[in-house]
Amino acid sequence: MIKCPICEKGALKKVMEKHYLYGVDFGMYPGEKCSSCGEVFTDSSDIKKIEEVAKQKGIWGLGKKTVIARTGNSLAVRIPKGIAEFTGIKEGKEAFIHSEKGRIIIEI
């Protein structure tokens, strides 16, 4: 039995997993899934294939520059559409914002 390297509790089982990248369906790939934490480990050659398709579709690298705007006494950060779709964040949804080592973190 191969133990999960993340939680060290579960056993890894061979599975076929649907892969999504930034909300786009990339199809089924074989992997090993932990019976405890649910983490899926995908073969690096398959990750490369997914990466290639993502590059072809022009969605590789979701990170984007954004400009901070002023709204009243606060500042507003525009969340790019791709990141909004990826995270499922929506207008009106409550989020928790805090800072940590020079970063601003928005938890949804």
The answer to whether residue 34 forms part of the interface with Zn ion (CB under 5 A) is yes
Nearest distance from residue 13's CB to Zn ion, in Å? 11
Coil vs helix vs strand at 52: helix
Question: Using CA atoms, how far apart are residues 69 and 59, in angstroms rounded to an integer?
Answer: 26
Between residues 39 and 85, which has the closer beta carbon with respect to Zn ion? 39
Burial class (CB in 10 A: 0-12, 13-18, 19+), 36: middle
Between residues 8 and 43, which has the closer beta carbon with respect to Zn ion? 8
The answer to whether residue 50 forms part of the interface with Zn ion (CB under 5 A) is no
Of 21, 22, 32, 36, which one interacts with Zn ion (CB under 5 A)?
A: 36
Say how far residue 59 (Cα) sits from the centre of its chain. Answer: 13
Of 14-22, 37-45, 56-64, 74-82, which part binds Zn ion (CB under 5 A)? 37-45
Question: Using CA atoms, how far apart are residues 79 and 70, in angstroms rounded to an integer?
Answer: 14
Considering only CA atoms, which of 33, 59, 30 is closest in space to residue 47?
30
The answer to whether residue 108 forms part of the interface with Zn ion (CB under 5 A) is no
Residues of this chain that bind Zn ion (CB under 5 A):
4, 6-7, 10, 34, 36-37, 39
